[in-house]
Amino acid sequence: MKIFFYTLREFDELACAKECSAKTGIAFDYTTAYPSAENAALAQGYEAISMTPCDMSAPMLERFASIGVKYLLCRSIGYDHVDLRRARELGMRVSNVSYPPSGVANYAIMLMLMLQRRAVSILDRARLQDYSLRGKIGADISFETVGVIGTGHIGTTVIQHLSGFGCKILCYDPYRNSEAEKYADYVSLEELFARADVITLHTNATEQNYHLLNREAFARMKDGVLIVNTARGKLIDTDALVEALESGKIGGAALDVLEKEDGLYYYNRIGDVIANRDMALLRSFPNVILSPHTAFYTEQAVSHMVGSCFEAAQAFDRGEESAHEVKIKV
Protein backbone atom coordinates (compact mmCIF):
# COMPACT_ATOMS: atom_id res chain seq x y z
CA MET A 1 0.00 0.00 0.00
CA LYS A 2 1.39 3.39 -1.05
CA ILE A 3 0.09 6.96 -0.98
CA PHE A 4 1.23 9.75 -3.26
CA PHE A 5 0.76 13.18 -1.68
CA TYR A 6 0.11 16.24 -3.79
CA THR A 7 0.62 19.75 -2.34
CA LEU A 8 2.48 18.30 0.62
CA ARG A 9 4.00 21.07 2.69
CA GLU A 10 7.56 20.23 3.61
CA PHE A 11 7.66 22.68 6.52
CA ASP A 12 4.85 21.09 8.54
CA GLU A 13 3.11 18.10 6.91
CA LEU A 14 6.19 16.13 5.88
CA ALA A 15 7.28 15.31 9.42
CA CYS A 16 3.75 14.15 10.26
CA ALA A 17 3.65 11.95 7.14
CA LYS A 18 6.98 10.33 8.02
CA GLU A 19 5.74 9.57 11.53
CA CYS A 20 2.46 8.10 10.27
CA SER A 21 4.26 6.06 7.63
CA ALA A 22 6.50 4.52 10.28
CA LYS A 23 3.49 3.68 12.46
CA THR A 24 1.29 2.17 9.73
CA GLY A 25 3.88 0.68 7.38
CA ILE A 26 2.28 2.58 4.49
CA ALA A 27 4.87 4.00 2.11
CA PHE A 28 4.50 7.44 0.58
CA ASP A 29 6.08 9.92 -1.74
CA TYR A 30 5.08 13.46 -2.58
CA THR A 31 5.26 16.63 -4.59
CA THR A 32 4.63 20.15 -3.43
CA ALA A 33 2.70 20.85 -6.65
CA TYR A 34 -1.03 20.67 -7.17
CA PRO A 35 -2.29 17.69 -9.19
CA SER A 36 -2.65 18.31 -12.90
CA ALA A 37 -2.93 16.39 -16.14
CA GLU A 38 0.82 16.91 -16.57
CA ASN A 39 1.93 15.51 -13.22
CA ALA A 40 -0.73 12.86 -12.68
CA ALA A 41 1.77 10.23 -13.82
CA LEU A 42 3.70 10.80 -10.59
CA ALA A 43 1.02 8.67 -8.91
CA GLN A 44 1.67 5.69 -11.21
CA GLY A 45 1.94 2.61 -9.01
CA TYR A 46 0.22 4.20 -6.01
CA GLU A 47 -3.15 2.97 -4.80
CA ALA A 48 -4.04 6.29 -3.17
CA ILE A 49 -3.48 9.99 -3.67
CA SER A 50 -3.89 12.72 -1.08
CA MET A 51 -4.55 16.36 -1.86
CA THR A 52 -5.79 19.66 -0.46
CA PRO A 53 -8.77 21.34 -2.23
CA CYS A 54 -8.00 21.46 -5.94
CA ASP A 55 -9.41 20.34 -9.27
CA MET A 56 -10.77 16.85 -8.78
CA SER A 57 -13.28 17.02 -11.61
CA ALA A 58 -14.27 14.04 -13.75
CA PRO A 59 -11.34 14.34 -16.22
CA MET A 60 -8.81 14.34 -13.37
CA LEU A 61 -10.46 11.38 -11.67
CA GLU A 62 -10.49 9.47 -14.95
CA ARG A 63 -6.80 10.20 -15.41
CA PHE A 64 -5.91 8.87 -11.96
CA ALA A 65 -8.18 5.85 -12.29
CA SER A 66 -6.48 4.96 -15.57
CA ILE A 67 -3.13 4.57 -13.78
CA GLY A 68 -4.56 2.48 -10.96
CA VAL A 69 -5.43 4.98 -8.25
CA LYS A 70 -8.34 3.65 -6.19
CA TYR A 71 -8.52 5.97 -3.19
CA LEU A 72 -8.85 9.75 -2.95
CA LEU A 73 -7.73 11.06 0.43
CA CYS A 74 -8.78 14.70 0.93
CA ARG A 75 -6.64 16.55 3.45
CA SER A 76 -9.57 18.80 4.28
CA ILE A 77 -12.96 18.56 5.90
CA GLY A 78 -14.61 19.80 2.73
CA TYR A 79 -14.80 17.55 -0.32
CA ASP A 80 -16.93 19.65 -2.67
CA HIS A 81 -13.92 19.86 -5.02
CA VAL A 82 -14.30 16.14 -5.80
CA ASP A 83 -16.76 14.94 -8.44
CA LEU A 84 -18.36 12.32 -6.19
CA ARG A 85 -20.67 10.99 -8.87
CA ARG A 86 -17.78 10.20 -11.20
CA ALA A 87 -15.73 8.79 -8.32
CA ARG A 88 -18.51 6.32 -7.57
CA GLU A 89 -18.80 5.34 -11.22
CA LEU A 90 -15.06 4.69 -11.30
CA GLY A 91 -15.19 2.65 -8.11
CA MET A 92 -12.98 5.08 -6.21
CA ARG A 93 -13.38 5.51 -2.44
CA VAL A 94 -13.11 9.02 -1.02
CA SER A 95 -12.18 10.20 2.45
CA ASN A 96 -12.00 13.53 4.20
CA VAL A 97 -10.39 14.42 7.50
CA SER A 98 -11.34 15.46 10.97
CA TYR A 99 -9.48 17.58 13.45
CA PRO A 100 -10.29 19.27 16.76
CA PRO A 101 -13.08 21.78 16.08
CA SER A 102 -11.78 24.26 18.65
CA GLY A 103 -9.18 25.75 16.29
CA VAL A 104 -11.68 26.98 13.69
CA ALA A 105 -14.28 27.79 16.34
CA ASN A 106 -11.92 30.00 18.33
CA TYR A 107 -10.65 31.66 15.15
CA ALA A 108 -14.25 32.53 14.19
CA ILE A 109 -14.84 34.04 17.62
CA MET A 110 -11.59 36.00 17.29
CA LEU A 111 -12.84 37.44 13.99
CA MET A 112 -16.16 38.40 15.59
CA LEU A 113 -14.38 40.28 18.34
CA MET A 114 -12.01 41.95 15.89
CA LEU A 115 -14.96 43.20 13.84
CA GLN A 116 -16.94 44.39 16.84
CA ARG A 117 -14.01 46.21 18.41
CA ARG A 118 -12.64 47.61 15.11
CA ALA A 119 -9.32 45.98 15.94
CA VAL A 120 -7.73 46.28 12.49
CA SER A 121 -8.47 49.99 12.21
CA ILE A 122 -7.25 50.65 15.75
CA LEU A 123 -3.97 48.82 15.16
CA ASP A 124 -3.41 50.42 11.75
CA ARG A 125 -3.92 53.90 13.18
CA ALA A 126 -1.72 53.14 16.18
CA ARG A 127 1.14 52.29 13.80
CA LEU A 128 0.80 55.86 12.51
CA GLN A 129 0.78 57.10 16.13
CA ASP A 130 -2.89 58.08 15.98
CA TYR A 131 -4.05 57.35 19.51
CA SER A 132 -7.24 59.39 19.36
CA LEU A 133 -10.63 57.78 20.08
CA ARG A 134 -12.77 59.23 17.28
CA GLY A 135 -14.07 56.45 15.01
CA LYS A 136 -12.80 53.63 17.24
CA ILE A 137 -15.83 52.93 19.41
CA GLY A 138 -16.93 49.31 19.23
CA ALA A 139 -19.65 46.97 20.46
CA ASP A 140 -19.50 44.51 23.36
CA ILE A 141 -20.41 40.98 22.29
CA SER A 142 -21.85 40.27 25.75
CA PHE A 143 -24.81 42.52 24.92
CA GLU A 144 -25.34 41.24 21.36
CA THR A 145 -27.16 38.38 19.65
CA VAL A 146 -25.02 35.96 17.64
CA GLY A 147 -26.55 33.72 14.98
CA VAL A 148 -24.72 30.47 14.23
CA ILE A 149 -25.61 28.72 10.97
CA GLY A 150 -24.62 25.06 11.12
CA THR A 151 -24.39 23.10 14.37
CA GLY A 152 -21.99 20.33 13.48
CA HIS A 153 -18.79 19.88 15.46
CA ILE A 154 -17.39 23.34 14.71
CA GLY A 155 -20.65 25.27 14.98
CA THR A 156 -21.52 23.61 18.27
CA THR A 157 -18.05 24.37 19.64
CA VAL A 158 -18.54 28.02 18.65
CA ILE A 159 -21.81 28.01 20.58
CA GLN A 160 -20.23 26.37 23.63
CA HIS A 161 -17.35 28.83 23.72
CA LEU A 162 -19.56 31.84 23.02
CA SER A 163 -21.74 30.94 25.97
CA GLY A 164 -18.94 32.12 28.25
CA PHE A 165 -19.30 35.65 26.86
CA GLY A 166 -22.89 35.93 28.05
CA CYS A 167 -24.33 36.84 24.66
CA LYS A 168 -27.68 35.66 23.31
CA ILE A 169 -27.11 32.80 20.86
CA LEU A 170 -29.44 31.70 18.08
CA CYS A 171 -28.72 28.81 15.76
CA TYR A 172 -30.05 27.17 12.63
CA ASP A 173 -29.50 23.70 11.23
CA PRO A 174 -31.92 21.24 9.60
CA TYR A 175 -30.67 18.67 12.12
CA ARG A 176 -30.73 19.59 15.79
CA ASN A 177 -27.76 18.98 18.04
CA SER A 178 -28.63 18.30 21.66
CA GLU A 179 -25.34 19.79 22.86
CA ALA A 180 -25.99 23.04 20.97
CA GLU A 181 -29.48 23.22 22.49
CA LYS A 182 -27.94 23.55 25.94
CA TYR A 183 -26.61 27.01 25.07
CA ALA A 184 -28.54 28.28 22.04
CA ASP A 185 -32.08 28.58 20.74
CA TYR A 186 -32.88 26.87 17.46
CA VAL A 187 -34.85 29.21 15.21
CA SER A 188 -35.76 29.41 11.55
CA LEU A 189 -33.25 30.90 9.14
CA GLU A 190 -35.57 33.85 8.62
CA GLU A 191 -35.75 34.56 12.36
CA LEU A 192 -31.98 34.26 12.71
CA PHE A 193 -31.49 36.76 9.89
CA ALA A 194 -33.95 39.18 11.50
CA ARG A 195 -32.54 39.06 15.06
CA ALA A 196 -28.78 38.46 14.88
CA ASP A 197 -26.23 41.24 15.30
CA VAL A 198 -23.49 38.85 14.16
CA ILE A 199 -23.93 35.87 11.82
CA THR A 200 -21.25 33.18 11.55
CA LEU A 201 -21.26 30.34 9.02
CA HIS A 202 -20.29 26.77 9.90
CA THR A 203 -21.80 24.50 7.28
CA ASN A 204 -20.49 22.55 4.30
CA ALA A 205 -21.01 23.83 0.77
CA THR A 206 -23.69 21.91 -1.11
CA GLU A 207 -25.85 22.54 -4.16
CA GLN A 208 -28.72 23.34 -1.81
CA ASN A 209 -26.95 26.06 0.17
CA TYR A 210 -24.94 27.62 -2.66
CA HIS A 211 -25.08 31.39 -2.06
CA LEU A 212 -27.02 30.87 1.15
CA LEU A 213 -26.28 34.49 1.93
CA ASN A 214 -27.52 36.38 -1.11
CA ARG A 215 -29.33 39.65 -1.84
CA GLU A 216 -32.61 38.37 -0.45
CA ALA A 217 -30.94 37.08 2.72
CA PHE A 218 -29.05 40.33 3.31
CA ALA A 219 -32.27 42.32 2.85
CA ARG A 220 -33.88 40.35 5.70
CA MET A 221 -31.02 41.03 8.12
CA LYS A 222 -30.65 43.82 10.66
CA ASP A 223 -28.98 46.98 9.47
CA GLY A 224 -25.29 46.91 10.37
CA VAL A 225 -25.10 43.14 10.89
CA LEU A 226 -21.62 41.59 10.92
CA ILE A 227 -20.85 38.51 8.79
CA VAL A 228 -18.16 35.93 9.61
CA ASN A 229 -17.29 33.08 7.27
CA THR A 230 -14.70 30.44 8.17
CA ALA A 231 -16.55 27.68 6.30
CA ARG A 232 -16.79 27.84 2.49
CA GLY A 233 -16.63 30.77 0.09
CA LYS A 234 -19.53 29.44 -1.98
CA LEU A 235 -21.93 30.09 0.89
CA ILE A 236 -21.87 33.83 0.17
CA ASP A 237 -22.81 35.64 -3.04
CA THR A 238 -19.79 37.94 -3.24
CA ASP A 239 -21.45 40.49 -5.55
CA ALA A 240 -24.38 40.76 -3.16
CA LEU A 241 -22.04 41.12 -0.19
CA VAL A 242 -20.14 43.95 -1.87
CA GLU A 243 -23.40 45.76 -2.61
CA ALA A 244 -24.57 45.31 0.99
CA LEU A 245 -21.26 46.63 2.32
CA GLU A 246 -21.38 49.62 -0.01
CA SER A 247 -24.93 50.47 1.05
CA GLY A 248 -24.12 50.04 4.75
CA LYS A 249 -26.64 47.23 5.17
CA ILE A 250 -23.76 45.00 6.25
CA GLY A 251 -21.69 46.66 8.95
CA GLY A 252 -18.62 44.53 8.37
CA ALA A 253 -17.39 41.13 7.27
CA ALA A 254 -14.57 38.82 8.30
CA LEU A 255 -13.85 36.24 5.63
CA ASP A 256 -11.36 33.42 5.96
CA VAL A 257 -12.66 31.91 2.72
CA LEU A 258 -13.65 33.39 -0.63
CA GLU A 259 -15.29 32.38 -3.84
CA LYS A 260 -12.65 31.85 -6.54
CA GLU A 261 -9.84 31.49 -4.02
CA ASP A 262 -8.20 28.64 -5.99
CA GLY A 263 -4.76 29.69 -7.17
CA LEU A 264 -4.52 32.35 -4.47
CA TYR A 265 -4.55 30.95 -0.99
CA TYR A 266 -1.54 28.89 0.07
CA TYR A 267 0.58 30.49 -2.67
CA ASN A 268 3.19 33.21 -2.17
CA ARG A 269 1.95 35.87 -4.60
CA ILE A 270 4.15 38.76 -3.47
CA GLY A 271 4.69 41.14 -6.39
CA ASP A 272 2.09 39.46 -8.61
CA VAL A 273 -0.78 41.22 -10.35
CA ILE A 274 -3.68 39.18 -9.02
CA ALA A 275 -6.64 38.87 -11.38
CA ASN A 276 -9.32 38.73 -8.72
CA ARG A 277 -11.38 41.90 -8.65
CA ASP A 278 -13.66 40.65 -5.88
CA MET A 279 -10.70 40.25 -3.54
CA ALA A 280 -9.27 43.64 -4.50
CA LEU A 281 -12.61 45.32 -3.87
CA LEU A 282 -13.18 43.60 -0.53
CA ARG A 283 -9.65 44.49 0.62
CA SER A 284 -10.42 48.14 -0.05
CA PHE A 285 -13.15 48.25 2.60
CA PRO A 286 -11.96 49.31 6.06
CA ASN A 287 -14.67 47.19 7.69
CA VAL A 288 -13.65 43.94 5.97
CA ILE A 289 -11.09 41.46 7.28
CA LEU A 290 -9.66 38.92 4.84
CA SER A 291 -7.53 36.08 6.13
CA PRO A 292 -6.14 33.45 3.73
CA HIS A 293 -8.04 30.29 4.71
CA THR A 294 -6.03 29.79 7.87
CA ALA A 295 -8.73 29.24 10.51
CA PHE A 296 -7.90 25.52 10.58
CA TYR A 297 -4.15 26.01 10.80
CA THR A 298 -2.87 24.75 14.14
CA GLU A 299 -0.25 22.15 15.00
CA GLN A 300 -2.97 19.85 16.29
CA ALA A 301 -5.07 20.18 13.14
CA VAL A 302 -2.19 19.44 10.76
CA SER A 303 -1.30 16.31 12.69
CA HIS A 304 -4.90 15.10 12.56
CA MET A 305 -5.27 15.91 8.85
CA VAL A 306 -2.24 13.92 7.75
CA GLY A 307 -2.99 11.11 10.20
CA SER A 308 -6.57 10.79 8.94
CA CYS A 309 -5.28 10.09 5.44
CA PHE A 310 -3.14 7.20 6.62
CA GLU A 311 -5.98 5.83 8.77
CA ALA A 312 -8.42 5.91 5.84
CA ALA A 313 -5.90 4.37 3.44
CA GLN A 314 -5.20 1.54 5.86
CA ALA A 315 -8.91 0.79 6.28
CA PHE A 316 -9.55 0.96 2.53
CA ASP A 317 -6.64 -1.37 1.82
CA ARG A 318 -8.05 -3.91 4.25
CA GLY A 319 -11.54 -3.61 2.76
CA GLU A 320 -12.84 -2.15 6.00
CA GLU A 321 -15.12 0.74 6.84
CA SER A 322 -13.49 4.02 7.81
CA ALA A 323 -14.91 6.83 9.91
CA HIS A 324 -13.24 9.19 7.45
CA GLU A 325 -14.93 7.79 4.34
CA VAL A 326 -17.25 10.10 2.42
CA LYS A 327 -20.43 8.17 1.76
CA ILE A 328 -21.16 8.85 -1.88
CA LYS A 329 -24.92 9.31 -2.28
CA VAL A 330 -25.43 10.89 -5.66
> Active site residue: 144, 259, 261, 311, which one?
261
What percent of the chain is modeled with pLDDT above 90? 92
Q: What is the pLDDT of residue 258?
A: 96
Q: Write the Ramachandran bin of 57: left for phi over 0, alpha for psi from -120 to 50, otherwise beta.
A: beta
Q: Does 153 qualify as catalytic in the annotation?
A: no
Task: Give 63-91 pLDDT, tens digit per residue.
Answer: 999 999 999 999 998 898 999 999 999 99
Residue 261 is among the residues annotated as catalytic for this protein? yes
Write out the H or E segment, with its range, that includes residue 59. Answer: helix 58-66
**293 flagged as catalytic:** yes
pLDDT for position 80: 86
Query: How far is residue 221 from each of residues 144, 214, 235, 311, measured CA to CA in Å?
Result: 14, 11, 16, 43
Per-residue CA distances from 191 to 181, 185, 197, 258, 329 (Å): 16, 11, 12, 26, 31
Residue 227 φ/ψ region, left for φ over 0, alpha for ψ in the -120 to 50 degree band, beta for the rest: beta
DSSP reduced 3-state for 299: helix
Residues of the chain where predicted confidence (pLDDT) is lower than 50? none
Q: What is the mean pLDDT of the chain?
A: 96
Model pLDDT, residue 177: 97
Set 118, 293, 304, 324: catalytic member: 293
Catalytic site residue from 75, 86, 118, 232: 232
The DSSP result for 195-237, as a single string, is H-SEEEE-----STTTTSB-HHHHHTSPTTEEEEE-S-GGGB-
Q: Rounded to two decimals, what is the model's pTM?
A: 0.90
pLDDT at position 330 is: 59
Query: How much is the pLDDT for 267?
Result: 83
